[in-house]
Amino acid sequence: MSTTVKPGQGPGKASGTGAVRAVRTRGGLSLRLDVRAVVVGLVLLALALAAGIALIGSGDYPMTPGEVVATLTGGGDAGQQFIVQDLRLPRVLVGLSVGAAFGVAGAVFQTVTRNPLGSPDVLGFAQGSSVGALTVIVYFQAGTFAVAAGAVVGGVATGLAIFLLAWKGGIHGYRFVLVGIGASAMLYAMVLYLMTKANIVEATQATTWMTGSLSGRDWDQVWPLAAVCVVCLPLVFFYGRPLRMLEMGDDAACALGVRVDRVRVVVLLAAVVLVASATAAAGPIAFVALTAPPLARRLTRSPGPNLVPAALMGAVLLVAADWSSQQIFGADQLPVGVLTGVLGGGYLLWLLATERRAGRI
């Protein structure tokens, strides 16, 4: 049995438009289904897959979408199998995973802080990962795996430090943002210091990593990031309903039975691990975590963090940006982090102007 709630018919509505369908089983289980959000999610999933196929077909040896699909399903000659399976598929999988991780982490930070500027880019987590990676590069001259491990350690350590500094009988969103901005400034200064200590080879390696790129990614980056996503993404999705209640305020959430501090700590820790792992795999790619959640919310027109649409939007943005950079500038001529930084910077200026006109800043 199912019923449809039209807009304006009571508290069950999703938002200004679209219907909410409540599906009830004979056993009494009830599921709230936002039809528009489901449709948007399916469209974003299709776009992510299409962008991935297009990216696999791009490069010095172009392939049509039909050839890509045929090769992925076991067809194609030996050369196509090597190009797709060994060279390009890992790049796409890393891009999709990194985009999804950034999208979910951005949704978590913006929901917990109740601030559209709440993002790993702004709060210092990306800078913490950069410090960890640069420390390994400059002082230990280590390889790719050690650099990734240093980025994870730096990101997680930064997250724990911000938690401790922002904790005062709980984590308050406004205090968390202020501490994060201060930590970001200090960590950026450490990045500059480490760059002055590096020789020309180390500085080149560090600059390339800090730009953020999917070039040269292989299965060594795919499997660790996939393992983190398999653990952390379902954990955050499990807390999707409590996160939505947090947007109503701590008092209202507590009245509805939400353990506010526990929810904040769990989802923030999971988000920090996602950001650190994604940064380790592809570098500190800018602004995906900032832009994906609000874009997903504008499309779904649904309240709450919109975690699944945010993840899919992040994947679409990152893979589409990487494909666009190859089409416009040539294969691997422009790191994807440069393009997302330019587009994200424009979005940030627009967001600041919008918030100022609304009187919120």
CA distance 212 to 326: 15
Q: Which of 59, 226, 222 shows the shortest CA–CA distance to 67?
A: 59
Which tokens hold the place of 352?
């600041």
Q: What pLDDT, in 10s, does the model give residues 66-125?
A: 999 998 888 878 888 998 988 899 999 999 999 999 999 999 998 888 877 778 878 888
Element at 312 (helix H, strand E): helix 307-329
Q: What pLDDT, in 10s, does the model give residues 134-173?
A: 898 888 877 778 888 888 899 889 988 888 888 776 666 6
- Taking the alpha carbons at both ends of the chain, their separation in whole angstroms is 47
Q: What pLDDT, in 10s, does the model give residues 242-261?
A: 888 887 777 777 777 778 77
Helix/strand/coil for 142: coil
Ramachandran class of 257: left when φ > 0, alpha when ψ lies in -120 to 50, beta otherwise: left
- pLDDT of 295 higher than 60: yes
Q: What pLDDT, in 10s, does the model give residues 213-222?
A: 888 888 988 9
User: For the whole model, what pTM was predicted?
Assistant: 0.85
Helix/strand/coil for 217: coil
Q: Work out the pLDDT band at 361, boundaries 50, 70, 90.
A: low
- pLDDT of 18 higher than 70: no
Mean pLDDT check: name the lowest of 10-19, 134-143, 199-208: 10-19
Domain 39-357 class?
Answer: mainly alpha
Please identify which residue in the block is written with the tokens 């590069």: 137
- pLDDT of 211 higher than 70: yes
CA distance 4 to 40: 18
Q: Comparing 290 with 116, which gets the higher pLDDT?
A: 290
- Per-domain residue ranges for the chain? 39-357
Helix/strand/coil for 2: strand
